Amino acid sequence: MIRNNLQKFKKERTLVLIKPDGVERGLVGEIINRFEKCGLKIVGLGIVRASKNQIDRHYPKTKNWIENLGNNFIRSCEENNLKFDLKKDLGVNNIFELGLMVRRWLIDFMCSGPIVKIALEGNHAVEVVRKIIGPTLPYKAPPGTIRGDFSIDSPIVANLEKRALKNLIHASGNIQEANFELKIWFTSKELLN
Ligand code: CMP
């Protein structure tokens, strides 16, 4: 029983996607280097042009998740004292529709260029990867994290330019999400044991 649990913790897996901005800027080697140097093992790796369908399956479609995207948009505007009318300025009727619009921006962005998919394994892989990447918003991410060192993008600029936030990397948020996302990007044969 102890041996089984030990393996479970040592072999935790997570998914990382280097988004089109990271690939275009030539940061693939630097990003992979940071994961390897801290001790995580690469158990799957590839460069792909994702289809809209693949990205659509990757990002959740629940009402909660979509409304959360809409609420993020509104929060950024409020924090920057920008007033807007959902219908007149954005052509949407409610927060859900606003979230759907942001989700379409995300899909377009993820399909706009090649992305690098990486499956990583190691102790607390999900948490460790998120620590190395840093918080979602690059302009707030501290130095020493990938987002903090290589990007200053901000949600208000992204919103006004009607595009997704360019934050270099996607990483699974928890173990359940990691298991789901790894299956979207890798077949079992493509993952090493
Ligand atoms: P990702 O982690 O791939 O999936 C959810 C995306 O929502 C995230 O990348 C960001 O691109 C985007 N996102 C998260 N928070 C905000 C925010 N406050 N403003 C704009 N976009 C955001």
Cα(164) to centroid of ligand 1, in Å? 7
Which of the four pLDDT bands, split at 50, 70 and 90, describes residue 8? confident
CA distance 19 to 59: 14
Task: Starting at the earlier edge strand, list the strands of the sheet with 41-48.
Answer: 41-48, 115-121, 13-18, 169-171
Catalytic residue among 170, 172, 182, 185: 170
Q: Estimate the share of the chain in helix, then strand, then coil, as percent rounded to the nearest 5.
A: 55, 10, 35
- 50 burial (CB, 10 Å; 0-12 / 13-18 / 19+) is buried
User: What is the pLDDT, as a whole number, of residue 4?
Assistant: 77
Atom 11 (ligand 1) nearest CA: 165
List, for residues 13-66, the tens digit of each pLDDT value. Answer: 999 999 999 999 999 999 999 999 999 999 999 999 999 999 999 999 999 999
Confidence check: pLDDT of 2 > 80: no
User: CA torsion 166→135→37→7, rounded to 10°?
Assistant: -120
CATH number for the region 2-190 comes to 3.30.70.141
State which of 58, 140, 146, 167 you would mutate to test the pocket of ligand 1, scoring each by most atoms of that ligand within 8 A of its C-beta. 167
Ligand 1 cavity residues, CB under 6 Å: 72, 76, 106, 136, 155, 158, 164-165, 167, 170
109 CA closest ligand 1 atom index: 11
- Residues near 27 by Cβ (< 8 Å), separated by ≥ 6? 18, 150, 168
Cα→Cα distances 144→132, 139, 149, 162, 169, Å: 8, 13, 6, 29, 15
Cα(69) to centroid of ligand 1, in Å? 7
Could you tell me how many residues make up the chain?
A: 193
Confidence check: pLDDT of 71 > 90: yes
106 CA closest ligand 1 atom index: 11
Name the residue ranges covered by the structural domains of the chain.
2-190
72 CA closest ligand 1 atom index: 18
User: What is the pLDDT, as a whole number, of residue 5?
Assistant: 86
Has 124 been annotated as catalytic? Answer: no
Mean pLDDT of 178-192: 97
List, for residues 115-171, the tens digit of each pLDDT value. Answer: 999 999 999 999 999 999 999 999 999 999 999 999 999 999 999 999 999 999 999
